Structure 1
Amino acid sequence: MCQGTTGPVDVATGIITPGAYLRLRREAARMGIRQVAAELAALPFAVMWPGPAEIARLAARIGAAEDDTEPFTLAEAELLQHAFRFDWSVYAQLIDLHADPASDGTLPVPQICRSCGCSWHDPCVRSGAPCAWTDHNAELCTACAHRPAPSPGLHLAGASGEGAPA
């Protein structure tokens, strides 16, 4: 896990971990880890045949990144976008925030929905319209506001309520 973390949130900062962010976005895309691995292995520019062993290896790598035991490099994260949508810049910010716990709040914290992981530049789209931040809870987008919270204690810093994920 990232240094000083337990679960999806860094206990020292209260900020979602990079791996938890990717997991939220993968789950919002309704994809399993093996499904993502199979899609990555089948990319036209993949350097190996997408057999069961390669898919299992990729699935293990994705699991390690989501568990924050071995975060993706930015180049690996860029490839991951071929399987499901997420905001690459949010992932990069989370990597930076967790790599430098001594930043004392000087690095910007992205606003992320605690339920689906959407952000300002990667909103949910329901009925053809992008979501926004709810007025009553700045940690949830309007698409997730009616859903129950994912797990107790999942608190995302940076949800100041400013702006909307449009």
Structure 2
Amino acid sequence: MSFRDSASYGKRQEYKAIAKLLELGFDVYSTLVDDKGIDCVIRINNRRYLDIQIKARSNTCDLKNRGYFPLLTIREKCDNYFFVLYSEFIDSYWVIPSQDIVFLASQEKTNVSENKKGKNTGKYAVRVVGTKCNPLPQFEKYKNEKGFVLLK
């Protein structure tokens, strides 16, 4: 993948995920700057909004990493912050509430972890598929349409 393709890959996948949200009937607002870890906002009603961070993994990364999403930042533990994770290789989305990521990281053998030391202390990593790109069953409730329902 050339630098130009690599540099624009994330933005293309953000637009693809936003298009999917619009297709599903969500009221979506794009942010101009992603300095707070928010790629778009979904308006549920007059009082409830959801902040969405979109992350994607391309076909060009190592097979074992095509469903691995490291360095996720969760600034505040709140019920309206969600991650939309996309694996191009599997052509699937996982919609995971940030609170679930925090909870799963506190449990053993969940494939979710929190960095405890070093420059990335406090950042999370989620592996939604195995090292051979087999979807992990514990993330089935977050996958594709099941996951998008969590936003309603």
Instruction: Give TM-score scaled by structure 2 length.
Output: 0.27
Structure showing greater Rg: 1
Q: Hey, which of these two has a bigger chunk of strand by percent?
A: 2
Higher relative contact order (CA 8 A, sep 6+): 1
Q: Hey, which of these two has a bigger chunk of helix by percent?
A: 1
